[in-house]
Amino acid sequence: MTQYYLLAFTAITLTGFAQLFLKVGASRGGFDLRERRAHPMLLLGLGTLAIAMLLNVRSLSVLPLRALAFISPVAYILTPLLAGLFLGEKLSRNVVLGTVVVIVGMIVFNLRLFFLY
């Protein structure tokens, strides 16, 4: 069972990095529909998201549904941290407080999952 939790947290970590790649790709031009071109970091981000989704599906095929309730908020902690660390984004007091409140909201939203098998 432990390996499936590790798989789920790996998926969450990959999701965080995928968002990072998408942000870099978006900042450096994004999609150009006229020239039918996309920045390589966008493709890397979308590919990483796809891998994360596959790992998620695999881990959730074994893990109980209540695992989602405490695994999914981790992405909301990790992604802003990665943005602060690698992109130099300022994590102001309001951003940190707002993110914490959002995470609490998501846990409350999924509270019933804690009681399901």
- Which range binds another protein by CB under 8 A, 1-9, 16-24, 60-68? 16-24
Q: At what angle do helices 93-109 and 66-86 cross, to 10 degrees?
A: 170
- Which range binds another protein by CB under 8 A, 4-12, 60-68, 103-111? 103-111
Among 2, 36, 92, 117, binds another protein (CB under 8 A): 92
112 is a site residue for another protein (CB under 8 A): yes
- Which range binds another protein by CB under 8 A, 4-12, 56-64, 77-85? 77-85
Closest alpha carbon to 85 in 43, 37, 10, 23? 23
x/- site string to another protein, residues 56 to 75, per CB under 8 A? -------------------x
Rounded Cα distance between 52 and 40, Å, is 18
Q: Tell me how crowded residue 43 is: count the other CB atoms within 10 A of its CB.
A: 13
Tokens (6 digits) for 104:
């609490």
User: In one letter, which amino acid is 9?
Assistant: F
Supply the minimum distance, in Å, between the C-beta of residue 81 and another protein: 8
Closest alpha carbon to 18 in 56, 62, 64? 56
Give residues in contact with another protein (CB under 8 A): 19-20, 22-23, 25-27, 30-31, 42, 46, 75-76, 79-80, 83-84, 87, 89-95, 97-112
